Structure formats: structure tokens, C-alpha cells
Structure 1
Amino acid sequence: MTPEEVGRRLVTLLAPVEATATVSGGQAHSRATVDVPPQPWRAALLAVRDDPELACDYFDWLSAVDELAEGFDVVAHLWSTTHRHGVLLRARVPRATPTIDSVVSVYPGAAWHERETHEMFGIDFAGHADLRPLLLPPEFEGHPLRKEFVLASRVAKPWPGAKEPGESEAGGGRRPIRPSGVPAPGEWGVVPTPAGAGGAGEGPRGGTPARPARERPARPAPGARPPRTPRSAGPAADPAGPEAGEEGTT
């Protein structure tokens, strides 16, 4: 089946659910992409798996895309080992309450993918029995793949202890420097950076106050420079030595 046929078939199976079928990019590797509401998410994956014409028996991956104010797109890629075609299923959940049904009972291989998506985006999968952290330590705060999360830890949150020479829990020592490529507080995302975490040069918006710029004297116009004072010539500086005919004394 072509990607267009796969998309039309799934839309027919999900009726009367309002599903929209498109085709992804990728030319020879394009996929049917079907957008469904979040409520029939599990039913949509079940239909893709059990329909003989689709027969997508292989669960490839599941993840999400942060669409900022529009919410999160939960995306799953499924593949048919029999018919050699694939399909991308996509559902958008609101940012305020990002929750969708778990599909572990349909595809057991989705368990780790849902744990990772929950950890990285903060999306809850209703019915998943074990949404423990998968990649990050339990004490980690925030969801790193949300677009408002600044990845540099020393910018997102003050460092808890001495990790480099000159740093200490009591402060002082070497001034923190914002890593190259990390945006300044207020320039990225919607969560303000805590005071003292922005690094040097951030001024009143957070972080350490910027150092005052040192004023450099203006360069004189061409031809206006004062003449240089010649060095005083002492006896040791005269390369000619004693004048001709002058006799030394004893």
C-alpha cells in the first residue's frame, strides 16, 4: 500500500472519529501521517495493529514534540513486517493537562518510550504502571525537552556545591560564566532564571551584576600626536665613544 492508501484506510477504520491523513516528507521514505484526537489514541493504535490490510505489528518508537502554546504532539511510528509499510500516528494534548492513554497493553515495547517521554516532556500516560525516571537521576527537576527549559544546568539552576576549583557552597570564589551559546535570562522560554544563576554579565535581569565597562582614552587624530621625547644620552649610550684625539686620563 502507498502512504496515501494507508492514511485513507486508517481514517475509514476510525470513523466517525475525526482523523486527518497526510503524507510526511522523505520522498522514498515518506510515511502516512494520521492526526487523531487524544481520546481515541489507544483505539487508533489497536486498529493499526489488528486490521489485516494495515497489520502494523512492529512498534518502532514513541516520542513528543513541544508546540509551545498549542500543546504537545505525541507521535508513534508503527511498521508492518508483512506488508512493508509504516504509519505515523499523532495526537495533540493540551499544555496545561498533558495526559494521554498508555498503549503498553497494545504494544508492550512502548513501556520505555512512554517513560522517556514522561520524563523529558512531562506528559502523563494514563494506565502506565511504572513511570519511573529512565535517563535522569530521581532528584532532577524539570523536563529537559520542553522548549522553555534551558539545558545548561549552571544557568537553569545554581550549582549546589563546589564542582570546580574556586567554587564553594558559601559563594564567592570564581564568578560563574554563562556557557557559549546559552541564551541570557529572559531571552528564551517562559520560566525566569533564578537570581544568581545567570552568570556574569547579566545585569538586573538575573545572575551576577555586569562589570562596568572600562573607558578607553580616545585615539588622537592622525598628525596630532605629540613628538616623542628622545632618550637622554649618557656616557654609556654614546656609541662613538670618546671624541677623536681625546686622550684618556690615568
Structure 2
Amino acid sequence: MTPEEVGERLVALLTADTEEPGEVTAGVSGGGPGHERAVVDVPVARWWTAAGAALDPGALGCDFFDWLSAVDELDEGFTVVAHLWSSRRRHGVLLRARVPRANPVVETLTDLYPGAAWHERETHEMFGIGFERHPGLRPLLLPPEFEGNPLRKEFVLAARVAKPWPGAKEPGESEGGGPAKRAPMRPPGVPDPNDWGPRASAKEEA
């Protein structure tokens, strides 16, 4: 099946004879020939149902759970993404659902794909997204006393303020001085060193 056919098949399975609210749409991700994937967006209430339909041998037969993660969409919430693959038919699907920022919860896929447990624990830890019915959302990568969710865009990356970022210099900057460099752009989560951290404390004391 082509990526277009995979997406259309899953949409048809999820929209046939159902009265559940929410739109199901399909598209194709880029990546060039041989790397394209069907992308299916579903309401969060149909996340588990969609994964079950993709797993069904009589439908898409996606028997292999590849990975799951999330994307911080700021005011629009979070997009939870899972990649499912058919080891026999050699096609895959990217399943996506948007969860609200105020209450980011989605149903666990562990009863369909046991391999999802590790990925859901990591996503819970890094983004603060809950997975209903998960057997144990205990810490995976961070120490138990750690506070916050590091992959949320509002999370303050204190290390970027405390010491310079090792790596390439800004355009126009050289070891011997040279032309004045442009003001560096700070990614989300990195505060101005003059407003937060050691420099700010020194200014206040002065």
C-alpha cells in the first residue's frame, strides 16, 4: 500500500459507522521516495481506537511499535505522535493527536503495544503529559527530586545562562575580534543572562 492508501484506509476505518465527535484527517509526510509516511490526525478521544485499528491484521497490520513522543505547540497544547509499522506489509503510519495544555492527558497504548511503556514514561517526564491506565509513570531519565518538564518551551534552561554554550561562534565573531557581532538569538526557554542568573544578581548587589 502507498502512504496515501494507508492514510485513506485508516480514515475510512475510523469514520465508518461512528457517531464519535472529532474530525479524522490524513496526509503524507515528506522525506523523499521510500521515506514517505502516512500521517493521520485524530481527536484525542480516538487515540487508542486509531492505534487499535492500525494494529488490526485485517486492516493495516501495524504490528511494530516504533516510537512515541510529543511536540510543544505553546497555546495550542501538545501534539502526541506515535510511529507504527507493519513488519510484514512494509508500510507505516504517523498517528497524531492534540491534547490541551491545561489538561494534557491521552490514553495509554501499552495494552496494544507493550513497547510503548518506556516512550510514554519519557514523554510524561519531559512534557508533563499524562497517559491514562499506564501501569507505572515513574521517573525514567530524571532524578526523583527534579522539578518541571525540560522539553516544555517555558522551561528555563539555567545551564545556558550559567555558562557559555560550547560550539560554533556567532556569524561575524572571531578569536581576533573583527567586526561587531550581531546580538545572538535565544531559543525558547533561555532567559536573558542580564535578567536572570549570576549577572542579574551582580547588578542587584551593585
**TM-score bracket, shorter-length normalisation:** 0.7 to 0.9
Question: Is 1:209 aligned with 2:203?
Answer: yes
- By how many angstroms is 1:26 displaced? 0.3
Match of 2:14 in 1: 14
Question: Is 1:96 aligned with 2:87?
Answer: no
- By how many angstroms is 1:199 displaced? 1.7
Could you tell which deviates more after superposition, 102-111 or 47-56?
47-56
CA distance in 2, matches of 1:12, 1:51: 16
CA deviation vs aligned residue, 1:196-220 (integer Å, no higher than 9, x gap): 96121x3xxxx431798xxxxxxxx
Judge conservation of contact 1:6–1:32 (CA < 8 Å) in 2: yes
After TM superposition, the structure 1 = structure 2 runs for residues 113-132 of structure 1, keeping only pairs within 5 Å, are 113-132=119-138
Q: Which runs of 5+ in 2 are unaligned?
A: 167-185
Match of 1:198 in 2: 197
CA distance in 2, matches of 1:21, 1:149: 32
Match of 1:24 in 2: 29
The one-letter code sitting in structure 1 at the alignment partner of 2:124 is: H
SS across alignment from 2:96: strand
Judge conservation of contact 1:121–1:145 (CA < 8 Å) in 2: yes
Match of 2:89 in 1: 83
- By how many angstroms is 1:24 displaced? 0.5
CA distance in 2, matches of 1:38, 1:128: 16
Judge conservation of contact 1:154–1:197 (CA < 8 Å) in 2: no
- By how many angstroms is 1:191 displaced? 10
Count of aligned residue pairs for this structure pair: 180
The one-letter code sitting in structure 1 at the alignment partner of 2:47 is: W
- By how many angstroms is 1:51 displaced? 4.4
Judge conservation of contact 1:154–1:198 (CA < 8 Å) in 2: no
Match of 1:216 in 2: none
SS across alignment from 2:45: coil
Judge conservation of contact 2:156–2:190 (CA < 8 Å) in 1: no
The one-letter code sitting in structure 1 at the alignment partner of 2:39 is: T
- By how many angstroms is 1:27 displaced? 1.2
Question: Is 1:40 aligned with 2:46?
Answer: yes
The one-letter code sitting in structure 2 at the alignment partner of 1:102 is: T
CA deviation vs aligned residue, 1:141-166 (integer Å, no higher than 9, x gap): 110111111333485xxxxxxxxxxx
Match of 2:178 in 1: none
Judge conservation of contact 2:67–2:82 (CA < 8 Å) in 1: yes
Judge conservation of contact 1:59–1:79 (CA < 8 Å) in 2: yes
- By how many angstroms is 1:99 displaced? 0.5
Identity within the alignment, %: 63
Judge conservation of contact 1:75–1:88 (CA < 8 Å) in 2: yes
Question: Is 1:152 aligned with 2:163?
Answer: no
CA distance in 2, matches of 1:102, 1:136: 21
- Larger-gyration structure (1/2): 1
- By how many angstroms is 1:179 displaced? 2.1
Distance 1:208 1:188, change over 3 A: farther
Runs of 4+ residues deviating >4 angstroms: 187-193
- TM-score with structure 2 setting the length: 0.79
- By how many angstroms is 1:71 displaced? 0.5
The one-letter code sitting in structure 2 at the alignment partner of 1:179 is: K
Match of 1:224 in 2: none
SS across alignment from 2:126: helix
- TM-score with structure 1 setting the length: 0.66
CA distance in 2, matches of 1:125, 1:179: 36
Judge conservation of contact 2:160–2:190 (CA < 8 Å) in 1: no
Distance 1:5 1:70, change over 3 A: same
- By how many angstroms is 1:21 displaced? 0.3
